[in-house]
Amino acid sequence: MKAQVESSQQTLRPKAPGKIKHYFTVAIVILLLWGSAVQTEATFGELIQGLPNMLDLLKEMLPPKWGYLSKIWSAMLETIRMALLGTTFGAIMAVPIALLSASNIARHKWIYYPVRFILNLIRTIPDLLLAALFVAIFGLGALPGILALAFFSLGVIAKLTYEALETIDPGPLEAMTAAGAHPLQIIKFGVVPQIKPHFISFLLYTFEINVRAAAVLGLVGAGGIGHYYEVTLGFLEYDKTCMIIIVTLAVVLAIDYISSKLREKLL
C-alpha cells in the first residue's frame, strides 16, 4: 500500500524543467558576443597591447595638480547650476507630456501614441549632440548646455512618469468621475497625490545623471567643467585632468548620496 502511495506521488510530481533552454540561451549570448567582437574588430590582443600605454598615462596623471582646484571650482559650480536648471525646466515640461502619454489618463490612442512618438524621438538624440546643435544656434556658453539637459530630462522624466501613471490605483479616479468631477479636479486630487513621490524620485535621479552629463558638454562648447577637460587633454596636461576627474567624482558621489537618501524617504 505504502509503495503504491509513493508511486502515485512520484507520478503526480511535476518534472524538473529541462536545461536545454538555458544551454540554448547561453549559446546565443556567446554567439552574439563573438559576432559583435568580430564586427567591431575588438580583440583581447589589442587590449593587452594597449596596457603599457595605459600605465604610462596613469604615471603622467599622478600625482594630480592640487593647485588647479582653485581655477576649476567656479566651472564645477557652473556645471552643477546647468544641471539644476536643465533638470528643473525638463521636469516642468514633462508634467503635461506624461499626462498625455498615459493611456489611463488620456484614454484615446490618437492622443497618447503621437505624444509617445515625440518622446521617443527626443530620447533618440544624445545629450552631447543636442548640446552641439544648440551651440550652433545660440553660440558658446552655458545656455546651450542648459537647453540640452532640459530636453534630455524631459525625455527621461516623462517616460518614467507616464509608466508610473499607468500603474496607479484607478479606484479614486473612477469614484471622482462617477461623482461628476472635472478632469482637472481628477488630476489634482486623484492623480497627483499618487504620483507625486515617484515624480520627485525621477527628478532627483535625472539630476544625478545630468551632473555627469553636464561635465562633458563643455567638450562641444556648452560651458561648465567640460571646457577644462578639453583644454587640459589638448595640451597633454594629464595631472590637471586628473584633478578635474577627482573633483567631478567627489561632486557626483556627494549628489548621489544625498539623492539616494531623499528617494529612500519618498518611496
- How many CB atoms within 10 Å of residue 198? 19
pLDDT at 263 over 90: no
Q: What residue ranges in the chain does DSSP mark as E strands? A: none
Res 29: pLDDT:
93
Mean pLDDT of the chain: 83
Q: What is the pLDDT of residues 68-121, one digit of tens each?
A: 888 888 888 888 888 889 999 999 999 999 889 888 888 788 888 888 888 888
Question: Of the ranges 7-11, 32-36, 53-57, 186-190, which one carries the lowest mean pLDDT score?
Answer: 7-11
Binned at pLDDT 50, 70 and 90, residue 6 comes out as low
Q: What's the CA dihedral at 134, 136, 139, 142 to 10 degrees?
A: 30
Res 8: pLDDT:
57
Res 102: pLDDT:
87
In the chain, % of residues over pLDDT 90: 7
Q: Is 4 exposed, middle or buried (0-12, 13-18, 19+ CB in 10 A)?
A: exposed
The structure's pTM equals 0.76
Most confident listed range (12-26, 55-69, 88-102): 88-102
Res 211: pLDDT:
84
Res 7: pLDDT:
58
Cis before 52? omega within 30: no
Res 28: pLDDT:
92
Given this structure, which CATH class describes domain 87-265? mainly alpha
Res 125: pLDDT:
84
What are the boundaries of each domain within the chain?
87-265
Q: What is the pLDDT of residues 185-235, one digit of tens each?
A: 888 888 888 888 888 888 888 888 888 888 777 777 777 777 788 788 888
In the chain, % of residues over pLDDT 70: 93
Res 220: pLDDT:
74
The answer to whether the beta carbons of residues 75 and 230 sit under 8 Å apart is no
Res 266: pLDDT:
67
Query: Cα dist. 243→33, 61, 156, 160, 211 in Å?
Result: 36, 9, 31, 35, 17
Q: What is the pLDDT of residues 120-136, one digit of tens each?
A: 888 888 888 888 888 88
Q: What is the pLDDT of residues 167-176, one digit of tens each?
A: 888 888 888 8
